[in-house]
Amino acid sequence: MKYAIIIEKGENSYGAYVPDLPGCIAAAETRIEVVKLIKEAIEFHLEGLKIDEGRIPKPHFEADYVEVITA
């Protein structure tokens, strides 16, 4: 399964979260590291959901970009 992740760049670090999995977050000093950590966080989160609820939610969120021209 593929889950959409949102990556936010701060002044000195990166944060990431998963809209389909509330509470599933990660933070790191680099973008590469935060992507690695959020993948691990998703796997851990899904294991917990499977144990607690007996199911894994299917992804619903999608992410894309649109280009706009500003004056």
Q: Identity (one letter) of the amino acid at 68?
A: V
Helix or strand holding residue 31 (H, E): helix 31-53
pLDDT band per the 50, 70, 90 thresholds, residue 4: very high
Domain housing 2: 1-71
pTM: 0.86
Beta strands in the chain, from DSSP E residues, in sequence order:
6-9, 14-17, 25-28
Domain CATH code at residue 7: 3.30.160.250
Contact call for residues 40 and 5 (beta carbons, < 8 A): no
Count up the domains in the chain and report the number: 1
CA distance 36 to 28: 9
Give pLDDT tens digits for 15-35.
999 999 999 999 999 999 999
* Averaged pLDDT for residues 30-41: 98
pLDDT band per the 50, 70, 90 thresholds, residue 46: very high
